[in-house]
Structure 1
Amino acid sequence: MTAPIAAPSRLSILLTGYATIALLSLPAHAQESVSLGTIFLETASDGSDDDETIVADQISSGSGLPSDVLDSSASVSVITSKEIQRRGATNTEQVLQYTAGVSTDFYGRDDRYDFFKIRAYDATTYRDGMLIGDAFGGIREEVYAFDRVEVLKGANSTAFGLADPGGAVNFITKTPTGERLREIYGAVGSFEHRELGFDLGDTFAQNSDFSWRLTGKIQDSAAETDDSNDDESFLMGGLSWRPTDRTTVSLVYDHLYRDGYPNSSGYPATGDDFDRDLFLGEPDFNYLDTDRDTLTLKAEHDFGGGLELGASLRFAEGTGGFGYVFLGDVTSLPDTTVSRYYFANDADFANFVGDAHLMYETSLGTVSSRTMGGVEYRDNHRHNTLWYTRAADIDWEDPIYTGGLDLDSTDPYQETTTNTKVKSVYLQQEFTRDQFILQAGLRRDWIDQEVRDHLSGVTTSGESMEDTMRLGLTYKITPNLSVFGSYAESVVPAGLGVEPERGEQYELGVKYRPEGFRGLLSASIYDLSKYNETITNADTLLQEVRGKSRVQGIDLEAKAEITERLSMTAAYSYIESEIVESNLGDNDGNELASTPKHSGSVWVDYLVPGQGSFGDLSLGLGTRYTGEYWRSDANSSKTDSAWIWDAAIGYEIAEGTEMQLNVSNLFDEKHIAQGGFSTDYYNAGREISLTLRHSW
């Protein structure tokens, strides 16, 4: 079944015409470079000091145009590598825990995916502005690979493309800098954790045009639950060529392999307080594997006169899957037995994305103008197989394991191959006059999907065309104080036979950069709606239609280096959510699941300067508050509010050598993060790590 393509609109004619004129107007040699995909406008912001400060001045997310954070008419939070290291964050959820508008840890100790939401909705992830995919159902990224993490809040498909309306996370990859980099570290910690890592870089020779960077880590660890492991190996190598100060070409390859565990299998929903390390799954059937290779080519060239041209190419392929036993209903409370089910997934994938764009900066009398027009192409392939079958009951007071599941001799309940191709053309425009900055964006995506059901032998296909826009206005009251308002749209395909999900957001905000110290304070209020909404059940991975929902909220955030000794981050969010249309009718008027009304965090670092033979001592303490939230859209049971504390102590043993102790969940707070069905899942318990780091 193929859906007809709608007739071209004035928007498509405008965008296609603009891109064509822009490319045809280039010199012949520039046109040839575009066709080869060897020139790229660097999407990453100037992150040269991200390892030295927690306060970022420049961003690459927002309007799609790199800009000063005060000039962007969007809410963007930046977590620099210094903040990541200081808090000892080792995964994306931990990186985002202290960010306003973001909720994490709402599915307990489930390590299949990175579970986080932005403004009540599942987030889309990108790497250097190029799509990775949904955080839910995707690969857990290695955060040591990135210089910074940018969190774009709210609908904004014109900046990056197909995305959910709550927001997006953009990872900025470490690339060769042309400067000497030398860092090695070793870490030990809870659950027999052992880890070694390095980040090295330099030029090949003095005054050489070529530079390199090599980053990697290897991890051998168990996990909180018995009969689980958390192993990883990661290696990333980059090569950059800078023949002139106007041209940079970079090639980055990375390999990620994870041998982890999916979750704790859960705990019987009896109201009892079980030990976190209790394992009621099967030791021989408890795995979470990822094996992925990624190759990225990107470059930038400045022609002068305000004209810059770029392109990027990324190819990733790999395999992944999990297998575990999760709990069902209690079968006999007197006999302390519970039912169980085998659940497994096996997938292989290949993804390609290419982008070419032109940016032109000029002055039109008293008005400064920046224009970016470009095209993008994505080709994603995924073969996915799911198994689900009954396992033997187990006694939670005297567990006896019965063995794993032979997938080769078990029929799957779902096996599909999905091919998605997306062609896009976009335009970003910025006008600046005096204290006013107007930003606008238009984008058209042509989506071609094909799904083959291998069990039924039926192939279904469909085509659609989606337009999105964005409009924002910033007024700089002073050079250090700005206010903004914006309207933005989002779109993402939900599946064949289902209307694409669309979102729209209205937002007002203010940003302030103090003069007396390095810092950034921001506040925003927003109204966000999502239409034609389809959600994925976390247990079955099957889609369910919700219809329409609405979120209204406030985000407050501060990052400040108040003195040379004292720095802090603080965040607060208030969210009102409502299911406006559930289609089934049962949940109309309910709040969205896993969405606390109130959440907040504070992290404070204090440096005690060394004297004599004593080195610097750094002390860090943070607390995260998550208000109560409903565990499902049915609003039948709630998770209680909780305070969780984290701490860090660092000591400079010698110049360039530091030892750091990090403790997450300092007081071992324990609560049911997800449950209300037949199984409960606890939040992650206390974890301690000790790291020795040396740089020279």
Structure 2
Amino acid sequence: MADSKNKPKASWTRWQCTTTALVCCTPLVAVPMSGKAQESGGGNENEQGTYRLAPIIVNAQAQADDNANTVVAQELWVGGKVATSILDTPASVSVITEKEIEQRDANTTEEVLQYTPGVITEYYATDDRNDYFKIRGFQATTYRDGLTLGSMRGVREEPFAYERVEVLRGANSTLFGPADPGGSVNFVSKRPRFESFGEGYVAYGSFDRKEAGLDVGNTLNASETLAYRVTGKIKDSEREYDHSQDDDEFIMGGLTWEPTNSTSATLIVDYLSRDSTPNSGGYPFDREYDRDEFFGEPDFNYHDVERTSITGLLTHDFDNGLTLRGNLRYSDLADDYGYVYLTDSESRAGTVVDRGYIGTGSEARELIGNAILQYDARFGEVDSSTLAGVEYRDASSEGTSVYAPASPIDIVDPVYSGPPSSLVAYSDTEQDYKTRSLFLTQNLSFFDRFIVTAGIRSDDLELTEKDFLANTDSSDDFSETSVRGALTYRVTDEVSTYVSYVESVAPPEVGVTPERGEQYEIGVKYAPFGMNALFSAAIYDLTKDDVTTSVVQDDGTIEQETIGESRVRGLELEAKAELTDNLSLVGGYSYMDSEVERGTLQDGTSIEGNDFTETPKHTASLWTYYTLPDRDMSFGLGARYTGSYYFDAENSAKSEATTLYDAAFSYQFIEDTELTVNVSNLLDEQHVVGSGTADYYNQGREVVAKVSYRW
């Protein structure tokens, strides 16, 4: 076979033109785009002789997304090697590019998602163990390069490692396998490019934050078939409360081999280490306290995380409509934390508040891989894309959780008592989770206007659990099938509409029927010619069934039964636009009407008709970024509105509606050298975002100055 590296790029684009709407039909294949294909999108498409094509409609304006230089993504990458036009995607999606992440200096997943409609974040702000966010009122599932993070989800991801973060709202197990109904968040790793590039920075900010990062890459041989990339970051910082730390170390290396335009293989190895404080202990109920106050234990509040991942991504195009993709990842995680928390009461008298010790030590390993065949063909006025694949996942974990009552603390004159003399384990388990999956998707487009998508997926799940405290072994098997269907209509080359039905199956537990979700959605998208912009709107009806609830029996006992049902209906609006060469805008609005249709509390009290927790009816956000004409100076300003929401399922306590402001400033004082200053929560507004045994406040004002150099 002749070396296809010497073939003209036009043959590649013709193949791409016959590809139908793969995203929202492809189960997160996660094979990277060709490095050379990425390069071609950076300049004028007429000069390059190539076009980025919508899957059905040839659209000369749809260039390859350049995540470092635009806030507007026109393509979705979760479908695999061929980036799919968002305009033809029958689902409500958002893409946060690398440029937007840098503009806002987003350092956690919560911060990355703050300006995304339908997403609520930071409802346990001073609890820093995890990234807390919900989509459409439900929990969401996270992925990295299209492969589920599974038991790795508890780790706070490092945004500097990613080119973009993609959000797919709503249920969709046909794409992703067992997943929570709220939606999916996919982190797209930075990958090698076949060009020389580099960036380095140093930063200093609030809470004695000191940080440095490096991102470099180049080709490794004269024939330009081998490229590398190294990305790293180190941070030494404290948090906003006393006796805290927030230290990170991250290193990632990638190697891509492309012997031809038809074959690409990438290996990514990364290591993440976090040494931080999990919690301030919370704040008493009686009044508003300063955020820097600390009611935990300096000698016991710790959180140590280490994770190593190895990922392999392979794709081969047989140049006859048939493409093979294979993906494999192994991850190893250790996660240990301990802290002391307040257990306050509204009826408390005096200044002494009870506390408790809690801690967890866990280890997890995960191997996940898939193999996928895709066949594309054209029959007259009909385009066909058939995709079939298998997936295997083996995730295991061991964890011990401990508890002990702690000595009370005087909140007026705190005296710390040190770590506990002994801790009692209340959970000590070993779990193994195996999944074998088959999936099939068929896409048909008619007359370059109508796109019909149908998919089915079968997941066989095998769960085992060993309880060392009870000295018991248990296991369970599940076979779950999910389906989806969608119809997309291209009204014009700029406007598309769609209607879809999708299902989800939540990751199950031993002895518990998996929770199932179903969603109906109608949407419209507009990508105007002459402007780099994308506007979208969607209305949806999302239901979760088989929710496990506590039910009081006739004899007075309480048993867990899967009779609960929850429902949310809503509207989402989003705009991402580069209005001029100097002005960009990112805005969104979400309305959610949530209701528990069937459910009870632990004591048997009905919560039928209640709202969901942490689910505000209204949220809105707007981020603008303006660069002075002919000046190397830019300004950014953002506003985030979050309506009030309930803290508990009983709907007994509610937050206040609030608006927070963020700001940014950038000045290129030397060629390729830039100073940026970012301020989050500009006015230092403070309010309660979560409440249980104590109150939790939103994050306070933070100022970070950074000097970056690019070459």
Using structure 2 for the length normalisation, give the TM-score.
Answer: 0.88
2:105 corresponding residue in structure 1: 88
In 2, Cα distance between the equivalents of 1:405 and 1:238? 44
1:239 corresponding residue in structure 2: 255
Measured after TM superposition, the shift of residue 534 of structure 1 is 4.5
1:74-120 per-position Cα deviation (integer Å, ceiling 9, x unaligned): 11100000000011101100000000111111122211111000000
In 2, Cα distance between the equivalents of 1:206 and 1:517? 39
In 2, Cα distance between the equivalents of 1:192 and 1:544? 50
State the one-letter code of the partner of 1:346.
G
CA change 1:371–1:464 in 2 (3 A) is: same
1:414 corresponding residue in structure 2: 427
In structure 1, which of residues 585, 594, 598 is the aligned counterpart of residue 618 of structure 2?
A: 598
Aligned residue runs from structure 1 range 295-374, under 5 A:
295-330=310-345, 335-374=350-389
Within the alignment, does 1:475 sit opposite 2:489 as a pair? Answer: yes
State the one-letter code of the partner of 2:701.
R
In 1, Cα distance between the equivalents of 2:138 and 2:639? 24
Q: Is the 8 A contact 2:31 2:80 kept in 1?
A: no
Measured after TM superposition, the shift of residue 579 of structure 1 is 0.5
1:485 corresponding residue in structure 2: 499
Within the alignment, does 1:587 sit opposite 2:607 as a pair? Answer: yes
Within the alignment, does 1:287 sit opposite 2:302 as a pair? Answer: yes
Structure 2 counterpart SS, 1:187: strand
1:71 corresponding residue in structure 2: 88
Within the alignment, does 1:623 sit opposite 2:639 as a pair? Answer: yes
Measured after TM superposition, the shift of residue 372 of structure 1 is 1.1
Measured after TM superposition, the shift of residue 411 of structure 1 is 2.9
State the one-letter code of the partner of 1:468.
S
In 2, Cα distance between the equivalents of 1:145 and 1:535? 39
In 2, Cα distance between the equivalents of 1:334 and 1:239? 63
1:551 corresponding residue in structure 2: 568
2:14 corresponding residue in structure 1: none
Q: Is the 8 A contact 1:513 1:519 kept in 2?
A: yes
In structure 2, which of residues 419, 438, 454 is the aligned counterpart of residue 425 of structure 1?
A: 438
In 2, Cα distance between the equivalents of 1:179 and 1:64? 19
Measured after TM superposition, the shift of residue 305 of structure 1 is 1.2
In 2, Cα distance between the equivalents of 1:545 and 1:264? 36
State the one-letter code of the partner of 2:678.
N
CA change 1:419–1:343 in 2 (3 A) is: same
Within the alignment, does 1:570 sit opposite 2:587 as a pair? Answer: yes
Q: Is the 8 A contact 2:372 2:388 kept in 1?
A: yes
In 2, Cα distance between the equivalents of 1:64 and 1:374? 15
In 2, Cα distance between the equivalents of 1:116 and 1:535? 22
Structure 2 counterpart SS, 1:354: strand
1:625-673 per-position Cα deviation (integer Å, ceiling 9, x unaligned): 0000000111001000000000000001122111110000000010000
CA change 1:134–1:316 in 2 (3 A) is: closer
CA change 1:330–1:549 in 2 (3 A) is: closer
1:178 corresponding residue in structure 2: 194
In 2, Cα distance between the equivalents of 1:265 and 1:546? 35
Within the alignment, does 1:443 sit opposite 2:461 as a pair? Answer: no
In 2, Cα distance between the equivalents of 1:174 and 1:546? 44
Measured after TM superposition, the shift of residue 430 of structure 1 is 1.2
Measured after TM superposition, the shift of residue 474 of structure 1 is 0.5
CA change 1:44–1:261 in 2 (3 A) is: farther
Matched pairs, number = 642
Q: Is the 8 A contact 1:41 1:299 kept in 2?
A: no
Structure 1 counterpart SS, 2:160: helix
Measured after TM superposition, the shift of residue 493 of structure 1 is 2.9
In 2, Cα distance between the equivalents of 1:195 and 1:499? 46
Q: Is the 8 A contact 2:33 2:82 kept in 1?
A: no
Q: Is the 8 A contact 1:61 1:152 kept in 2?
A: no
Q: Is the 8 A contact 1:331 1:337 kept in 2?
A: no
1:386 corresponding residue in structure 2: 401
Gaps of 5+ in 2: 1-28, 39-63, 551-559
1:513 corresponding residue in structure 2: 527
Measured after TM superposition, the shift of residue 365 of structure 1 is 2.2
Q: Is the 8 A contact 1:252 1:295 kept in 2?
A: yes
Measured after TM superposition, the shift of residue 288 of structure 1 is 1.3
Structure 2 counterpart SS, 1:628: coil
2:124 corresponding residue in structure 1: 107
1:169 corresponding residue in structure 2: 185
1:27 corresponding residue in structure 2: none
Q: Is the 8 A contact 1:573 1:600 kept in 2?
A: yes
2:26 corresponding residue in structure 1: none
1:362-401 per-position Cα deviation (integer Å, ceiling 9, x unaligned): 1122100111110000000010110111000000110000
1:278 corresponding residue in structure 2: 293
In 2, Cα distance between the equivalents of 1:535 and 1:608? 57
Structure 2 counterpart SS, 1:310: strand
Within the alignment, does 1:118 sit opposite 2:135 as a pair? Answer: yes
Using structure 1 for the length normalisation, give the TM-score.
Answer: 0.90
Structure 2 counterpart SS, 1:55: coil
1:97 corresponding residue in structure 2: 114
State the one-letter code of the partner of 2:486.
G
Q: Is the 8 A contact 2:30 2:80 kept in 1?
A: no
CA change 1:232–1:666 in 2 (3 A) is: same
State the one-letter code of the partner of 1:279.
F
In 1, Cα distance between the equivalents of 2:133 and 2:293? 25
Q: Is the 8 A contact 2:180 2:507 kept in 1?
A: no
Gaps of 5+ in 1: 1-39, 537-542
Measured after TM superposition, the shift of residue 234 of structure 1 is 0.2
2:7 corresponding residue in structure 1: none
Out of 664-673 and 361-370, give the one that drifted further. 361-370
In structure 1, which of residues 42, 50, 58 is the aligned counterpart of residue 31 of structure 2?
A: 42
In 1, Cα distance between the equivalents of 2:548 and 2:345? 31
Q: Is the 8 A contact 1:198 1:216 kept in 2?
A: yes
Q: Is the 8 A contact 1:123 1:134 kept in 2?
A: no
Measured after TM superposition, the shift of residue 207 of structure 1 is 2.7
Q: Is the 8 A contact 1:261 1:287 kept in 2?
A: yes
State the one-letter code of the partner of 1:691.
K
2:224 corresponding residue in structure 1: 208
State the one-letter code of the partner of 2:466.
R
